[in-house]
Homo-oligomer: A and B are copies of this chain.
Amino acid sequence: MDKEHILLVEDDEVFSRVMTHALLHRDYEVSHAANEDEALLLIKSTLFDYAILDLNLGGHTSLGLIAPLKQSNPSSRILILTGYASITTAVEAIKLGADNYLAKPADADEILSALIADTDKSNATAHPEATHLEPMSVRRLEWEHIQKVLNEYDGNISETARQLKMHRRTLQRKLQKRPVAK
């Protein structure tokens, strides 16, 4: 049978490259778009089984892509991914038809399982346990997130600490420690 086709809409260079490789490696076919217009073109020409949308693309959100995707293929599954997660946007995304919503940082396995998993617990029958992966530890998650934000602010520790709402001294101390193994 054909490979399943995933649409990845993400404006972060590094992340989209890594993610694309991870998906290809898992034997999916991947199309990538860096903005809404590119995405719309792809949606017109191709039928996608899945879509991974970064919520904020430069100026606006990717929520406008949900309708076209569902229209093109009503059985496609859509995952909204964002580094700026909030309950409000999550609620909005789901109402608009997204199938799941995930906060970054998340690794490829998490993303994939959020995309594919049947999150509807009401019919929680015998689940094929094959997809049971272990979640990131809180330490690891914290480390990843700190690195990401730090990078976003060009290594400025003071600014990063403010954004993270933690004390600069605390961030400084955390950074002196080693990255967490797992």
Grouping DSSP codes into helix (H, G, I), strand (E, B) and loop, the A interface class, with mixed when no group exceeds half, is mixed
Q: How many residues of A contact B (CB 8 A)?
A: 51
Given known contacts A61-B130, A87-B90, A101-B91, A135 and B164 CB-to-CB distance under 8 angstroms: yes
CB pair B137 A165 closer than 8 Å: yes
**In the assembled complex, which residues on chain B have CB atoms less than 8 Å from the CB atom of A136?**
83-85, 103, 145
**In the assembled complex, which residues on chain B have CB atoms less than 8 Å from the CB atom of A87?**
85-87, 90, 101, 103
The verdict on A176 contacting chain B, using a C-beta distance below 8 Å, is no
The verdict on A41 contacting chain B, using a C-beta distance below 8 Å, is no
> How many angstroms between the C-alpha atoms of A149 and B138 in the bound complex?
10
Contact indicator per residue, chain A 92-136, by CB within 8 Å of chain B (1) or not (0): 101110001101000000000000000111101101101011111
CB pair B122 A134 closer than 8 Å: no
Minimum-distance CB pairs A-B, first 6: A137-B165, A94-B94, A135-B149, A87-B90, A91-B101, A90-B90
